[in-house]
Structure 1
C-alpha cells in the first residue's frame, strides 16, 4: 500500500470538491481523507495501490464542474497511519 499527500489550489472550496473527491476515492477503493484548509486549498491524503492513486490525482487535477483547479502538489510517502475508509474531515 502506498500513500499520496495532495494540496489542491484554485477555486476549490464551496464547489463540492470534497464530496467529488470522496466519491472518486471510494469508487477506487482508496482510504484516507479530504478537508478544506484555512488558506483556501484542499488537502487530500489517500492510501491504496499506486495505479488507483494515480487515477485519483488525475481526477483532482480536473475537479468538479464549478471548480477551477490551478495547481495540485503531490507528495508520495510511506503511510504512518492506516485509515479504515475515505472520509471528509470537517
Structure 2
C-alpha cells in the first residue's frame, strides 16, 4: 500500500509541472507584435532607463489600451443583456430539470 501511495505522489509530482507549462504558450511573433504596438505609443525598448521602467511600460500600455478602446480589466463589451431575462428556453429547462 505504501508503494502505491509513493508511486501516486511521484506521478503527481511529474505531471503538475507539465500541466502548468502547457497553459500559456506565446510565440516570438506575438511578442514582437506587442513590442511594435508599445513602440507606436512612445515606449522605447532598451533605452537604458531602468529607474523608470515599471512606470514607463505601464504608461505605454495605458496609452495603447486607450487607443484600442479597451479598459484596464478586459476588452470592450459589444452587446447588451437584460437583467432577469430568460436565458434558457422552456423546452431546454424542462429537459434539464423535469424527471
Q: TM-score, normalised to structure 1's length?
A: 0.27
Q: TM-score, normalised to structure 2's length?
A: 0.25
Bigger share in strand: 1
Bigger radius of gyration: 2
Bigger share in helix: 2
